[in-house]
Amino acid sequence: ETGVTQTPRHLVMGMTNKKSLKCEQHLGHNAMYWYKQSAKKPLELMFVYNFKEQTENNSVPSRFSPECPNSSHLFLHLHTLQPEDSALYLCASSQSSLRLAGYTDTQYFGPGTRLTVL
Amino acid sequence: AQKITQTQPGMFVQEKEAVTLDCTYDTSDPSYGLFWYKQPSSGEMIFLIYQGSYDQQNATEGRYSLNFQKARKSANLVISASQLGDSAMYFCAMREPSYSGGGADGLTFGKGTHLIIQP
The tens digit of pLDDT for each residue in A17-34 reads 899 999 999 999 999 999
Please state, in angstroms and as integers, the Cα–Cα distance from residue A50 to each residue in A5, A53, B69, following that order.
Answer: 18, 5, 32
Pairwise CB contact (< 8 Å): A102 & B43: no
Instruction: Report pLDDT for A100.
Output: 60
| Residue B91 near residue B64 (C-beta atoms within 8 A) | no
| Residue A48 near residue B105 (C-beta atoms within 8 A) | yes
Question: What is the DSSP code (8-state) at residue A86?
Answer: -
| Residue B68 near residue B75 (C-beta atoms within 8 A) | yes
Residues from chain B contacting residue A101 (CB–CB below 8 Å)? 31, 97, 103
Decide: helix, strand or coil at residue A85. helix
The tens digit of pLDDT for each residue in A45-102 reads 999 998 888 888 888 999 999 999 999 999 999 999 999 999 999 999 998 766 566 6
Pairwise CB contact (< 8 Å): B103 & A48: no
Contacts of B34 (CB under 8 A, 6+ apart): B23, B25, B50, B51, B52, B53, B66, B68, B75, B92, B93, B94
Residues from chain B contacting residue A55 (CB–CB below 8 Å)? 98, 100, 102, 104
The average pLDDT across B35-53 equals 94
Q: How confident is the model at residue B98 (pLDDT cuts 50, 70, 90)?
A: low
Residue B102 pLDDT exceeds 60: no
Residue B25 pLDDT exceeds 90: yes
Question: What is the DSSP code (8-state) at residue A107?
Answer: P
Instruction: Report pLDDT for A99.
Output: 58
CA–CA gap between residue B2 and residue B109 (Å, rounded): 10
CA–CA gap between residue A19 and residue B89 (Å, rounded): 29
Give Cα B35 to chain centroid, integer Å.
5
The per-residue pLDDT of chain B, averaged, comes to 92
CA–CA gap between residue A111 and residue A92 (Å, rounded): 9
